[in-house]
Amino acid sequence: MNISLTGRHLELTQPIKTHINSSIETLNKYNMDITSVNVVASAQTKKGKEHSMIEFVISLAGKNSIIIKQNNDDLYACVDIAIERAQKAMRRIHDREVDHQKVGLNELKSQVNNGIDIKREELLNEDEIVPVELDLYKPREVEDVLNDLKDGEKMFEIFLDNDQKTRVLYKRNDGRFGLY
């Protein structure tokens, strides 16, 4: 792994270089093939205050580079935050490679269903509609239909009343009857 340290408008002292190098060494725990790490540390003055900025460019073999830019008042804190972000990015890439197996969609469906035939189950669970012929041709009294509902197991009855209007008499949840 090649490590390049550069300072812009800032002189990199030996303690800063040691801190950056030891922080970069923590990236080796992800067992990624890091080809090079370029570090650019700079100082800027904004509104009379001095800010430190650090930029990490981590090149991985066979993968995209990881670029991290971080601003802070303290250069040491800036390095620590940038390394944490780099570790998080490396961990994501590592987890994607190690944990995820390339399994096809059909294989996943078969594992979830455990051999259950989905089309057969849908047909079994489908509501069955039974056609019933209605005796709408003869008018009936509401009292007669009410007695039929009380005696039978039906929930409603559709009928023609004496005025030739189509009516519906139904059982309510509270035990009473409703009429449309």
Domain that holds residue 171: 132-180
36 phi-psi bin (left φ>0, alpha ψ -120 to 50, beta other): beta
Is the CB of residue 43 less than 8 Å from the CB of residue 55? no
Q: Give 7-23 pLDDT, tens digit per residue.
A: 999 899 999 999 999 99
pLDDT of residue 144: 87
Indicate if the pLDDT at residue 135 is higher than 60: no
Q: Give 60-106 pLDDT, tens digit per residue.
A: 988 889 999 999 999 999 999 999 999 999 999 888 877 666 666 66
Instruction: Give the pTM.
Output: 0.54
- Give the chain's mean pLDDT: 84
Cα 63–Cα 64–Cα 68 angle in degrees, nearest 5: 135
Instruction: Indicate whether 118 belongs to any domain.
Output: no
Cα separation of 54 and 70, whole Å?
Answer: 5
Looking at the structure, do residues 93 and 20 belong to the same domain, yes or no?
A: yes
DSSP state, residue 73:
S
What's the CATH code of the domain at 15? 3.30.160.100
* Alpha carbon separation from 124 to 46, 114, 117, 120, 121 (Å, rounded): 72, 18, 11, 6, 5
Looking at the structure, do residues 139 and 88 belong to the same domain, yes or no?
A: no
Looking at the structure, do residues 93 and 138 belong to the same domain, yes or no?
A: no
Looking at the structure, do residues 19 and 83 belong to the same domain, yes or no?
A: yes
What's the CATH code of the domain at 161? 3.30.505.50
Instruction: Indicate whether 176 belongs to any domain.
Output: yes
pLDDT of residue 48: 83
The distance in angstroms from the start CA to the end CA of the chain is 84
Fill in the amino acid letter for 108.
Answer: L
Looking at the structure, do residues 142 and 62 belong to the same domain, yes or no?
A: no
pLDDT of residue 14: 95
Indicate if the pLDDT at residue 108 is higher than 70: no
State whether residue 91 is helix, strand or coil: helix
pLDDT of residue 41: 95
